[in-house]
């Protein structure tokens, strides 16, 4: 703000310049406050969306791991059945010899 010295040597604002500067200050302040409000709202929204997306990614990762593990378990179950059948067959065949 521009200031002038009065008769006592004290600084006093220039009325015409101050009014213009004050309007500009208020306009800029309002713009910045609106911008801050929009950014706060967007931040809140993004935090929520990111959390949902993280949860979704976690579920997809777990589903993928579960599917992979299920495949391994199925193969092992089949191998166990086959081995049990082979052992039963061999044990049954030894008694006949």
Q: What is the dihedral of CA 19, 23, 25, 27, to 10 degrees?
A: 180
0.85 exceeded by pTM: no
Tokens 């993928």 sit on residue: 64
Which H, E and C letters describe 24-82, residue by residue? HHHHHHHHHHHHHHHHHHHHHHHHHHHHHHHHHHHHHHHHHHHHHHHHHHHHHHHHHHH
| Tens-place pLDDT, residues 70-91 | 999 999 999 999 999 999 999 9
Tokens 């004290």 sit on residue: 10
| Tens-place pLDDT, residues 14-62 | 556 677 898 999 999 999 999 999 999 999 999 999 999 999 999 999 9
Q: Name 11's Cβ contacts closer than 8 Å, sequence gap at least 6.
A: 3, 4, 5
């Amino acid at each position: 703000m521009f200031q002038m010295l009065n008769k006592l040597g004290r600084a006093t604002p220039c009325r015409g310049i101050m009014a213009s500067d004050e309007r500009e200050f208020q306009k800029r302040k309002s713009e910045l406050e609106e911008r801050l409000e929009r950014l706060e709202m967007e931040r809140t929204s993004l935090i929520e969306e990111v959390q949902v997306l993280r949860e979704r990614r976690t579920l997809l990762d777990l589903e993928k791991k579960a599917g992979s593990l299920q495949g391994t378990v199925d193969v092992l179950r089949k191998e166990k059945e086959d081995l049990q059948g082979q052992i039963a067959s061999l044990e049954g065949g030894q008694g006949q010899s």
